[in-house]
Structure 1
Amino acid sequence: MKAKKFISIALAAVLTLGILTGCSSSKTSGSSASSASSAGSDEKGSVYYLSFKPEQEEQWKEIAKKYTEETGVEVKVVTAASGTYEQTLKSEIAKDDAPTLFQINGPVGYQSWKEYCADLKDTELNKHLLNPDLAITDGDGVYGIPYVEEGYGIIYNQAIMDKYFALDGAKAKSMDEINNFDKLKEVAEDMQAKKDDLGIDGVFASTSLTPGEDWRWQTHLANLPIYYEYKDKDVKDLDEIEFTYADNFKNIFDLYINNSTVEPKLLGSKTVTDSMSEFALGKCAMVQNGNWGWGQIADVDGNTVKEEDVKFMPIYTGVKGEEKQGLCIGTENYFCINNKASEADQKATQDFIEWLFTSDEGKDYVTNQLGFIAPFDTFSDDESPQDPLAQEVLKYMSNKDLYNVDWNFTTFPSQQFKDDFGAALLEYCNGNQDWNQVKQLVIDEWASEKALTK
C-alpha cells in the first residue's frame, strides 16, 4: 500500500477556522490523543520523546532535527541510559515538561503506566497495523502501538566458522550441521581448544554482566525457558513458575561463559559495547544479540568482519525438537502518548509518529537509519532494512519449516526481578552461588513480584 502523504502541521496552522471546525468532528475518546482543533487553537504544540535505545540516540536526534526543520514543530529526544528506562521515565513524567511520547514493553509495562496512556484506537498509525492483535489493548481502547518487529539469536562470523570447518578433526563441516545444543556444544568446545589456530581469543564474546548491561541474559536468554514453560502449560502468563527449563538455560549460559574471550570472574566489568566490539574486531566467532546490534558491529573502528559474513543462528538450549526452532522474534517496543500532555502536544506527537511511519521521508529514516522492520501496511516489501542482521530476521520470519520463539519476557514481573536475576547470574559466575540457588531465586522472586502487581 502506498504511504499516505504527510500534511505538515505548519500548513494546518494557517487553515481557516471553518476547516478546523470540520476536522474536529473526527471521533476521539476522552483520553485519546485528540486533534489540535479540539483545543480551539492553532497552537502547533511540541514533542518530547523519551527513548530507551542508547545505540540509536544519534539517529533519533537526526530525525527530530529534520522534522523540526520541515514543520517548525519542536521535537526533543532524550535517551535513557542502558537499563535505566523505568527509573528515568518515573523521574521525567513527574515534571511540568514531561515526555509526550514514551514507550512500554508490553502488558506488564502497561499496568505500570496506564494512568498516562492515551487511547490511540482512532489514530491513523493504529489503523495501519498489519496485525492489530499486537497492540496493547484495554477494553475497546488501544493504549500501546508496536512500532518494530525484531529478532535475536546467536550472531556468528561465517569466515571464522569456515576457517574452523576446514581444520582437520573439525566436529562439523558446515553450519547446517549445527541445529541443536549438543552439536553447538561439541563445536564450540573444540573451537575453544583450537582458538590459537583460529586467531581468536574465545568462541563467544564476553557475557556482559555489569548491572544495567545484563539484559541479554536476565531478559533475552531467560525468555527461552519461559517460552517453553508457557508452551507446555498452554498459557500466556503465570503468577508462579516452576522454571521447568532452568537446566536448559544453564546449558547455554555455561557454554557462553566457559568458552569466552575472558574468564567468568571478569564478566562483572564487561558491557554490551565490549562484547560487540570483540565480535567486530574478529576476537570471537559468536555473540548473542539482536538485529539492532548491527550498528554496534559496523561502526566499530578497525572492524574486520565483512557484512556478508554476519549471520544468525538460533539459541539452542537442549530442548526436545529444537532442530525446528528459529530465532526469538517479537517486540517490546510500544509507543504511548502521554494523556496528561496538552491537547496540542498530543496532536503534535501523533502527527510526528504518523509522519515517521507513513511519509516517504519518514519511512526512509525508519528503514535505513533505525533499521526497523516496521509492522505497518504503509511499508512495501522493498522497504525493509538491507543490513545483514535484519535480512536474516526476515529470512527466519518467512521460513515456514521453522517455528520462531515468541517474546514472552514482556510478561516478566518487574525490572527488580530482572535486576536480581542478573545479579544472581554474576554471583554464579564469581563462584559465590550454585545453580540451585539461582534457580530458587528466580522461582521465588517471580511469585513475589507478580503478587505486588495484583
Structure 2
Amino acid sequence: MPIAVEGYGLIYNKKIFEAAGIDASTLTSYDAMDKAFADLQSQIDAGTLADQFPVLEAVEEYAAKESWIVGLHTNNVALSQEFGSAAKAFESQTVNYTYGAALKDLIDLETRYTSSRDDLSLLNSVDYATQVGGGLAIERVAVIQQGNWISPEISNVSEDLLQDLGILPIPLKGVVEDSIAVGVSNYWCVNSKSSEAEKTAAKAFLNWLYQSDEGKNIVINELSLIPAFDNYDGIEISDPLSAEVMRYMNAGKTIPWVFSGQPSGWDSNVAANVQAYLAGSMTWEQVIAQNKSDWEAMRQQ
C-alpha cells in the first residue's frame, strides 16, 4: 500500500519574489525562470532587498554533495521523458540521454544563481542541511530544488515561513517546462512470515488509517501526507507544500519518477560525474558518456 504521494520542483519564498516585484505565476518556462532569477540576483547584489531580508545572499542553493538530489531527482527530470516509467527504465540495458543537453541547461540554471556561481566546485560540499535548514529556512536563499517532505524541517525553524513557500516547475528546456516530478517513495508492506492473525490485524490497521474518517484526518493533518487514493473528496490538505503538489496533480502538470528503475547505485556514479563537471574536471559530453557506460556495465552485474 503506498504511504503517500510526494512531489518535487523548485521551492521558492513567495515574500522574496513579491518584494522583488516578480510574479511567480508567470514562471512557467525555462526562459521565464532564467530571466526572473537573473533579475532577483541583481537586486540581491545591489542590496535593494537587504532591509527586508538581511541574510539573503543568492537566489538558489544546490546541494551537489547529495547523490540522491543530483543522481536521482535532477537526473530524473531528463530520464522521465526518455523512459516514461520506472518499469521501462528497469527493462532497458542502455540509457541514451535523449535529453542530455536539456539536463545540462537545468543544472546550469540551478547553479548559476548560487553564492558559489564564481566557483561551482564549492557546491560539491553543500549538503541537504546547508540547503534546507541553513539556506531556505533562514532566508539565505530564495529557491531550492526539493519536495514537500521538507515541511517539518522548515516549520521547526519558522511556521510562518512554511506558509510563505510555493513550488515552481522544474523545467526541462524545450521538452516539458511547466511541471513538477510526482511519485510514491515508499510503501507499507505486510510481512508474509507473520501469523495469519498478525497479517489480518496489520491490514485492518492500514485500512482504518487510510479509509476511516478518523484515519484520514490523521493522514492529512497530523502526518501531513498526500494520500494516494481518490476518495478523499472534501478534505483540505493543510501542509502548504503538499497543497502545491496537489495543485500540479489536479492540473495534470506532472512528470513521473523513473529513478527506481535505474541500476542500483548508479545515482552515486551520476552524482560523482556531475560533481566533476561542476569542478571543471569533466566536460558535459564526458559526463554523459560516462553515465551511459556506467549504466551498461551495472546492468550486466
Q: Which interval holds the TM-score relative to the shorter structure?
A: 0.7 to 0.9
Q: Structure 2: 5+ residue runs without aligned partners?
A: 51-55
Query: Superposition pairs for residues 61-100 of structure 1, below 5 Å?
Result: none
Correspondence for 1:336: 189
SS at match of 1:335: coil
1:445 to 1:329, Cα distance in 2 relative to 1, 3 A: same
Tell me the alpha carbon deviations over residues 2-50 of structure 1, each in whole angstroms, 9 at most, x when there is no partner. xxxxxxxxxxxxxxxxxxxxxxxxxxxxxxxxxxxxxxxxxxxxxxxxx
The structure whose residues are more often helix, as a share, is 2
Correspondence for 1:176: 25
Correspondence for 2:298: 449
Letter in structure 2 aligned against 1:398 = N
Query: Superposition pairs for residues 231-310 of structure 1, below 5 Å?
Result: 236-237=88-89, 238-262=92-116, 263-277=119-133, 278-300=135-157, 303=158, 306-310=161-165
Letter in structure 2 aligned against 1:438 = V
Of 231, 239, 254 in structure 2, the residue corresponding to residue 404 of structure 1 is: 254
| Residues in 1 aligned to 2:256 and 2:247: alpha-carbon distance in whole angstroms | 16
| Residues in 1 aligned to 2:260 and 2:236: alpha-carbon distance in whole angstroms | 25
Tell me the alpha carbon deviations over residues 366-398 of structure 1, each in whole angstroms, 9 at most, x when there is no partner. 212221111235x53233431111111111111
Q: 1:449 offset after TM fit, Å?
A: 2.1
Q: 1:318 offset after TM fit, Å?
A: 0.9
1:371 to 1:353, Cα distance in 2 relative to 1, 3 A: same
Q: 1:219 offset after TM fit, Å?
A: 0.7
SS at match of 2:237: coil
- Does structure 1 conserve the Cα–Cα contact (< 8 Å) formed by 2:148 and 2:242? yes
User: Is 1:225 the counterpart of 2:78 in the alignment?
Assistant: yes
| Residues in 2 aligned to 1:183 and 1:264: alpha-carbon distance in whole angstroms | 23
Letter in structure 2 aligned against 1:432 = S
Instruction: Tell which has more relative contact order, 1 or 2 (C-alpha 8 A, sep 6+).
Output: 2
- Does structure 1 conserve the Cα–Cα contact (< 8 Å) formed by 2:76 and 2:257? yes
Q: 1:227 offset after TM fit, Å?
A: 1.5
Query: Superposition pairs for residues 51-450 of structure 1, below 5 Å?
Result: 145-165=1-21, 173-195=22-44, 196-199=47-50, 200-205=56-61, 207-210=62-65, 213-230=66-83, 236-237=88-89, 238-262=92-116, 263-277=119-133, 278-300=135-157, 303=158, 306-320=161-175, 322=176, 325-376=178-229, 379-399=231-251, 402-414=252-264, 416-450=265-299
1:383 to 1:193, Cα distance in 2 relative to 1, 3 A: same
Letter in structure 2 aligned against 1:151 = G
Q: 1:312 offset after TM fit, Å?
A: 1.0
Q: 1:408 offset after TM fit, Å?
A: 1.6
Kindly tell me the number of residue pairs found equivalent between the two proteins: 288
SS at match of 1:240: coil
- Does structure 1 conserve the Cα–Cα contact (< 8 Å) formed by 2:70 and 2:267? no
SS at match of 2:224: coil
| Residues in 1 aligned to 2:239 and 2:115: alpha-carbon distance in whole angstroms | 26
| Residues in 2 aligned to 1:175 and 1:443: alpha-carbon distance in whole angstroms | 36
| Percent sequence identity over aligned pairs | 29
Letter in structure 2 aligned against 1:249 = L
Q: List structure 1 segments (4+ residues) > 6 angstroms apart after TM superposition.
A: none
Q: Structure 1: 5+ residue runs without aligned partners?
A: 1-144, 166-172
Letter in structure 1 aligned against 2:233 = D
Letter in structure 2 aligned against 1:410 = S
1:283 to 1:434, Cα distance in 2 relative to 1, 3 A: same
SS at match of 1:146: coil
Query: Structure 2-normalised TM-score?
Result: 0.85
| Residues in 1 aligned to 2:146 and 2:57: alpha-carbon distance in whole angstroms | 19
| Residues in 2 aligned to 1:351 and 1:326: alpha-carbon distance in whole angstroms | 36
Query: Structure 1-normalised TM-score?
Result: 0.58
SS at match of 1:337: coil
- Does structure 1 conserve the Cα–Cα contact (< 8 Å) formed by 2:263 and 2:299? yes
- Does structure 2 conserve the Cα–Cα contact (< 8 Å) formed by 1:281 and 1:304? no
Letter in structure 1 aligned against 2:127 = T
Tell me the alpha carbon deviations over residues 324-362 of structure 1, each in whole angstroms, 9 at most, x when there is no partner. x32212213222223234445444433443332234443
Correspondence for 1:96: none
Q: 1:186 offset after TM fit, Å?
A: 2.0
| Residues in 1 aligned to 2:64 and 2:68: alpha-carbon distance in whole angstroms | 8
1:359 to 1:431, Cα distance in 2 relative to 1, 3 A: same
- Does structure 2 conserve the Cα–Cα contact (< 8 Å) formed by 1:153 and 1:312? yes
| Residues in 1 aligned to 2:171 and 2:105: alpha-carbon distance in whole angstroms | 9
Correspondence for 2:53: none
| Residues in 2 aligned to 1:296 and 1:175: alpha-carbon distance in whole angstroms | 24
Q: How well do the aligned residues superpose, as a CA RMSD in angstroms?
A: 2.4
SS at match of 1:366: helix
